[in-house]
Structures are given as structure tokens and as C-alpha cells.
Chain A
Amino acid sequence: MHIIESGNVAAATGVKLSRAQVIAAYPITPQTPLTEKLSEFVESEEFDAQYIPVESEHSAMAVCIAASTAGARAFTATSANGLLYMSEQLHWAVGARLPLVMCVANRGIGAPWTVWNDQQDTMSQRDAGWIQIYANDHQQIIDSVIKAFLLAQTVSIPVMVCYDGYILSHTYMPFEQPDQDQVDSFLPPFAPKNFLDPENPGNFNPVTLPDVRPGVDGEIEPGYIEIRHNLHEDLRTTLDTYAAIDKEFEEQFGRGGNPLIEQYKCVDADFVAVCIGSLSYQLRDVIDLMRDDGVKIGVMSVQMYRPFPDEVIVAALADKKCAIVLEKALSYGNQGALYGDIKSALYNSDTKPHVHNYILGLGGREIKTQHLLDALTESCKSPETIGDTPRWIGLKL
């Protein structure tokens, strides 16, 4: 069914179709309408789930961790400071290998307070071990949520589905809402092997020592470093797992095909603008303008940021003249995180493009087409001359 709704409602609809069983959330702008919609679905009995309106994000993630440990499909959503308030439990959920799904409507972090969009919140959590998927429009939000539940339970790693606050969360767009039967056949019920089962008592996440030691059955069990190593290895294989899930989704629903990166006019391009999220669609207009002037430029968005699809990115960029990385986040005191990741991925490649870095849109600063055009034009004119420090777009000092 084709509907016109907000990005938050697209997310809520995806959660409902995925038959999440426990939802715990605390309101924060711009996530709020998503959880309100879920509570409405639940209370009107359209959606058979437990909705727990907890007293903070800290509790929201704790409830999801416990629900998932008890064998339920659990979901939460947040933004900015709410995500950071969960930070301790984010690490816990990954270490405990719980297949949670969380939506994050991206927003700048205080201080000073801002309710507007940038991506510092989720980018700052990139090393937690969560899988991070970014959506560029409403269709990608609903589809990613459904795929995320399957991915999470396939690899036993929690997934964040991120989308730009306000720009996507609050705007209305048409999108296709899959039928429940179709989603049911795509996403089987969550049936964990290991869960809190009174019939089968167990000890979850026992304390580890620096070295390995035997478990209750006398068998040597992995220690802390082994558990973390396995997490990393499993994350690396997640890139292929997600690509396969996306393929399955495409076969069934007719949408997909760009699980890790999405490219626009990149095939014959000399220059590629690289970014994350809705900015990539704004950039398409700029690319078209520049193409009219004969500049061979395209745009690529990174759809899965963690695990990092380095090989796919290298393949897409290695033979270009210049990759221009535009970011709504910054690894303070260094450079854009995505920029750093892309440079490091290209390091061992025989051919490599120049790589430029622009920071823009922090705290919702308007991103003007003219500014983008100026920046990209400058980079394309002199790919060799721009140094290694990020340049700022739209700054009014």
C-alpha cells in the first residue's frame, strides 16, 4: 500500500510490521512522534506488543536488554542526549549479543542545547559495536527497520537505524508500506537459542577474568578478549550477511540493491561527493547542476557505516580523481570520522583519489545549495591543493 506519512511514522510502521514484542522508550525531540505512534498502535490493539513508557533512556535500554534476554523481540528509539544517556547499556547490549533494534532520529548534542539535525550523536557511538544503518528517505527508513530485525537476529548484534532529525523524521513523503503477510514470510519469529528460560536455568554474562577458564560443564569458555574478538569477526562478516538479506528483501519486495553504499551518477565520474543520510539526495541537485556544466561528478552515500564497508568503498573510489567527504559530525581535534575511515580504507589501494573533507550543518545550520555548489566546484577545480584539515561550510565567524 502506498501512503504519505512522516519519517517517524514510517519507522513506527516498520516496527509494527516486524512484530516487535517489547518497546520501551522515553520521549525526546525529534524522535518523539515515533514512539507516540507506537503507543497508539499498541493501545488501539492494532499491534500486539508491550509498550513500556519508562522514566529515562537509561531505563529504556535496560528494559530492552532484559526483554531481549528473556527471548522477546525488543525495540527502542531516541535522539542526541538520549542516546548518550544510554551509552553504558549500548556497550552492554553488544557484549551480551542481544539482537535489539533502535531507531535514532539524528540530532545535535548539547551543550549548548540544540534540537536540530546533525549526526554527531550516532557517529560518536561508532566504536560501541552496534551495527549502524543510515536511511536517506522514508522508504529506506521503513525497509531498513524490517531488514534490521532480521539482520540483528541473524548475527546476534544490535542494529541502529539512523535518519536525519526533522529533515526526515518530520517531513512527509510517499512510501510503500509492505503487507503484513509479506513481512511475516521475510522475517521469521525471534527464536533465540539462549534465553532466560525458567525450565533451563542459566547464568548470563558472568564475570570474566583476564584469562580463559572452565564453565559450569568444565569446558574452557571464551574469556573477555575472545568474546570481543568474536564480536569483531562477526561484525566483519555482517557486511556479507546484510548484503544477502538485502538481496532477499529485493526479491520479495522489489526494492533494495544498495545495502552498503548508494551511488548516483558515479560510474563515469571523476569526482565523487561522499556523505551519510539525506544530504545525499540534496547533493543530487548540485551534481546535476555541475553535470550541466560538464563536470563529471557523482554522489555516494554510505548506508552501512558500522561495520565499515571498506572494500566496497575502495572499489567505488579508487580510480576517481577526488573524493569529497561532507560530514555533519566531527571527530573533534582531528577530522571528520568518515573522512578518516575512507582515507584509511584507501591507504593500501594501488590507485587512490585525493580526499577532501567538509564539515557542515552542525546544529541544523542551513545547508544551502549554493554553498554546496561552491565547495564542490572548488574541490573539483583544484583536487591537489586542498590540505588535510576539514573545511567548514556555512560558518559565520
Chain B
Amino acid sequence: MAVKDYLRQRFFPHMWCPGCGHGTILNSLLRAIEELELEKKDIVMTSGIGCSARISGYVDFHSLHTMHGRALACATGVKLSRPHLNVIVPMGDGDALAIGGNHFIHAARRNIDITAIVMNNRIYGMTGGQFSPLSGVGIKATTAPYTTIDNNFDVVELATAAGASFVARSTAYHVKESTDILKQAIQHKGFSVVEILSQCPTHYGRKNKEGDAVSMLELHKTNTAKIGSKALEKNPVLTPRGIFVDTDKPEYCAEYEKVIAFAMKEKTS
């Protein structure tokens, strides 16, 4: 199937600003799905609210546009009732880790087979550029006109500590790398977290003097390096990209099935 067949073009033009990283991430995701030859009917996308969460409206899968911060809770419900479906959850940094932070750690703890994509532009794009728990110290936002003092979460460390069995990071610049990682994340049996650094030129870029979308993309390239690369070894302050965790752990739905099977046996014996 061609990538565009996975899109609901009737909803175009989309709402993203020119140069927004979210469209590129959608492109990487659709290529991953296409290369995995997944059928539309086997994919469920749940999302919360945010520019990122709008993805669920543009893809021609089963899609649930839910409440801000609740995407993973809704995804958990879908997955437990229809374990054979692929559940993919695109989230903004606010959606995933501010208002939705609790669901994030608990989904990871359960290791339920869901693919969570954190499209991290380090700002609340949709509501006009307030800082988020992923902004970090020293950035400007409408709620921090004189720069932030709040520390940020490291998504990779948080997901790992909370128990996710697949954890990776890419950027909107590294389109092919993202596709590759997303393919593995979708195939992985367990809770997969893929952080993809995105860019919001409209709010973050403008406020933090990072220039236009092209120069922000350039920053994704120059500020990151692959795990195990010479560049990272030489310059450890760069943000590492790649797959950090890929382990086999008991998956929640499968374990649940076992409990049911055991209970049924008890009952009938």
C-alpha cells in the first residue's frame, strides 16, 4: 500500500504550521507501517490533545481522539479488550508527561504491548507556547518570559526506570532512522517508548531564537549523535540517539491471558 493510502486526505489541509516537525514524524511512522505491511484495520491509534495528537485524525486507522493526557489510559483499555490489534499512541511532551505523566509511568510499569511515541518539541504547541516538563532550564516560553527554572525529565531514563522494555530516541531530522526505530518498536512485544525530538518553529523557535524550521532541523543534527558513535564519545554532552533498551519481559496482555486460563482451569477441575 502506498503511504498516502494510510491518510485521510479529506481532512487536509492539515493544521500544522509550515516547518513543524510533527508532519515529518507522521511520515516516518507511515513508512514504518507500510514497510511492515500492516493492514489499516489492524491498527488502532489513540491520542490525547495537542498539535501532535492531531495525527489520529489524519490517519486512516481506527482512531480515538481522547482527552488531554489520557491517551495511554485509553490505549490500555483498547489493548486489553482487543490484544491482537497494534495500538500506537502519538503524544506531545505535555500530553505524555505533564497532564499524562501518571499514565505514562504506569503503562511502562505494566509493560503492556503499546507503542508510545513522544513527539518532543519541548513546548505546548497547541495552546501557544507554554513550557512543558521536557523544556528544561533556561528556555523562554509564554509562561516563562524570563526563562524557565524547572528541570526536565529525560524521557529515555524515565521510561527505562519505569519498566518499558523498548526505549529509543530519534529526531525529526533523522527520518529514516525514525522509520527504522518505529518498525522495531511496533514489532516489539511490550511497552515501547520512542522519543522523537520535533521542532515547533512557531513558538519554541521564535521565542528561543533558534531561527526557522531549517535551522531548528540543523540543531537536531548537530546536537545529537548515535549511541556508540565516535562523535558521542568525543562530545558526551550531545544527546544520544538510537535504541537504549530492547529486552524481553513478560507482557501484560499475555500474562493476563495466563491468569484467565489458570482461573478457568481451576473452575472446571
Interface residues of A (CB under 8 A from B): 26-29, 32-33, 35-36, 39-40, 43-44, 51, 53, 55-58, 81, 85, 110-113
> Counting CB contacts under 8 A, is B85 at the interface?
no
Docked complex: B194-231 residues within 8 A CB-CB of A: none
Contacting residue for B131 out of A53, A56, A58, A112, CB 8 A: A53
Please tell me if the beta carbons of A43 and B146 are within 8 angstroms of each other in the complex: yes
Query: In whole angstroms, how far apart are the Cα atoms of A36 and B143 in the complex?
Result: 5
Query: In the complex, what residues of A have CB within 8 A of residue B133's CB?
Result: 55
Known interface pairs A36-B143, A44-B145, A53-B144. Does A27 touch B128 (Cβ–Cβ under 8 Å)? yes
Please tell me if the beta carbons of A113 and B145 are within 8 angstroms of each other in the complex: no
Q: Which of B6-14, B30-38, B64-72 is the contact stretch?
A: B64-72
Please tell me if the beta carbons of B99 and A55 are within 8 angstroms of each other in the complex: yes
Query: In whole angstroms, how far apart are the Cα atoms of A39 and B141 in the complex?
Result: 10
Query: In whole angstroms, how far apart are the Cα atoms of A51 and B141 in the complex?
Result: 14
Query: In the complex, what residues of A have CB within 8 A of residue B145's CB?
Result: 39-40, 43-44
Docked complex: B44-93 residues within 8 A CB-CB of A: 49, 65, 67-69
Q: Can you name the residue of chain B whose Cβ is closest to the Cβ of A43?
A: B146
Q: Can you name the residue of chain A whose Cβ is closest to the Cβ of B49?
A: A113
Query: In whole angstroms, how far apart are the Cα atoms of A28 and B68 in the complex?
Result: 10
Interface centre among B68, B97, B128 (most CB of A within 10 A): B68
Contacting residue for B127 out of A27, A44, A51, CB 8 A: A27
- B contacts with A, residue count (CB < 8 A): 22
Query: In the complex, what residues of A have CB within 8 A of residue B144's CB?
Result: 39, 43, 53
Q: Can you name the residue of chain B whose Cβ is closest to the Cβ of A58?
A: B99
Query: In the complex, what residues of A have CB within 8 A of residue B128's CB?
Result: 27, 32-33, 36
Please tell me if the beta carbons of B101 and A36 are within 8 angstroms of each other in the complex: no
Known interface pairs A40-B145, A110-B67, A113-B49. Does A53 touch B130 (Cβ–Cβ under 8 Å)? yes
Q: List 16 A-B contacts (CB under 8 A).
A: A27-B124, A27-B130, A29-B127, A32-B130, A32-B142, A33-B128, A36-B130, A36-B143, A39-B142, A39-B143, A39-B144, A55-B97, A55-B133, A58-B99, A81-B68, A113-B65
* Chain B interface, DSSP helix/strand/loop, else mixed: loop
Known interface pairs A27-B124, A113-B49. Does A35 touch B101 (Cβ–Cβ under 8 Å)? no
Shortest Cβ gap from B255 to chain A (Å): 30
Query: In the complex, what residues of A have CB within 8 A of residue B254's CB?
Result: none
Please tell me if the beta carbons of B127 and A28 are within 8 angstroms of each other in the complex: yes
Query: In the complex, what residues of B have CB within 8 A of residue A36's CB?
Result: 128, 130, 142-143
Query: In whole angstroms, how far apart are the Cα atoms of A56 and B131 in the complex?
Result: 12
Query: In the complex, what residues of A have CB within 8 A of residue B130's CB?
Result: 27, 32, 36, 53
Query: In the complex, what residues of A have CB within 8 A of residue B43's CB?
Result: none
Please tell me if the beta carbons of B67 and A81 are within 8 angstroms of each other in the complex: yes
> Counting CB contacts under 8 A, is B175 at the interface?
no
Docked complex: B105-124 residues within 8 A CB-CB of A: 124
Known contacts A26-B98, A32-B127, then 15 further A-B pairs from the complex at CB < 8 Å, ordered by chain A residue: A28-B68, A28-B127, A29-B126, A29-B127, A32-B128, A43-B146, A44-B145, A51-B143, A53-B130, A53-B143, A55-B99, A56-B99, A58-B99, A81-B68, A112-B65
Query: In whole angstroms, how far apart are the Cα atoms of A28 and B143 in the complex?
Result: 13
Query: In the complex, what residues of A have CB within 8 A of residue B124's CB?
Result: 27
Query: In whole angstroms, how far apart are the Cα atoms of A179 and B143 in the complex?
Result: 26
Interface centre among B65, B130, B142, B143 (most CB of A within 10 A): B143
Query: In the complex, what residues of B have CB within 8 A of residue A57's CB?
Result: 99
Shortest Cβ gap from B25 to chain A (Å): 21
Query: In whole angstroms, how far apart are the Cα atoms of A44 and B144 in the complex?
Result: 10
Contacting residue for A55 out of B67, B101, B146, CB 8 A: B101
Q: Can you name the residue of chain B whose Cβ is closest to the Cβ of A56?
A: B99
Shortest Cβ gap from B225 to chain A (Å): 30
Query: In whole angstroms, how far apart are the Cα atoms of A28 and B124 in the complex?
Result: 10
Query: In the complex, what residues of B have CB within 8 A of residue A44's CB?
Result: 145-146
Please tell me if the beta carbons of B69 and A56 are within 8 angstroms of each other in the complex: yes
Query: In whole angstroms, how far apart are the Cα atoms of A58 and B68 in the complex?
Result: 12
- The 4 A-B pairs of least Cβ separation, nearest first, read A56-B99, A55-B98, A27-B127, A36-B142
Shortest Cβ gap from B97 to chain A (Å): 8
Docked complex: B123-151 residues within 8 A CB-CB of A: 124, 126-128, 130-131, 133, 142-146, 150
Query: In whole angstroms, how far apart are the Cα atoms of A127 and B197 in the complex?
Result: 44
Q: Can you name the residue of chain B whose Cβ is closest to the Cβ of A37?
A: B142
Shortest Cβ gap from A117 to chain B (Å): 17
Query: In whole angstroms, how far apart are the Cα atoms of A196 and B128 in the complex?
Result: 36
Query: In whole angstroms, how far apart are the Cα atoms of A148 and B99 in the complex?
Result: 29
Shortest Cβ gap from B160 to chain A (Å): 21
Interface centre among A26, A57, A112 (most CB of B within 10 A): A26
Query: In the complex, what residues of B have CB within 8 A of residue A51's CB?
Result: 143
Query: In the complex, what residues of A have CB within 8 A of residue B98's CB?
Result: 26, 55-56
Shortest Cβ gap from A335 to chain B (Å): 28
Query: In whole angstroms, how far apart are the Cα atoms of A36 and B124 in the complex?
Result: 13
Query: In whole angstroms, how far apart are the Cα atoms of A111 and B66 in the complex?
Result: 8
Query: In the complex, what residues of B have CB within 8 A of residue A85's CB?
Result: 99
Contacting residue for B99 out of A26, A35, A113, CB 8 A: A26
Query: In the complex, what residues of B have CB within 8 A of residue A112's CB?
Result: 65
Q: Can you name the residue of chain B whose Cβ is closest to the Cβ of A40?
A: B145
Query: In whole angstroms, how far apart are the Cα atoms of A43 and B131 in the complex?
Result: 14
Q: Can you name the residue of chain B whose Cβ is closest to the Cβ of A38?
A: B143
Query: In the complex, what residues of A have CB within 8 A of residue B97's CB?
Result: 55
Docked complex: B149-204 residues within 8 A CB-CB of A: 150
Query: In the complex, what residues of B have CB within 8 A of residue A110's CB?
Result: 67
Query: In whole angstroms, how far apart are the Cα atoms of A53 and B126 in the complex?
Result: 16
Query: In the complex, what residues of B have CB within 8 A of residue A81's CB?
Result: 67-68
Query: In whole angstroms, how far apart are the Cα atoms of A39 and B98 in the complex?
Result: 18
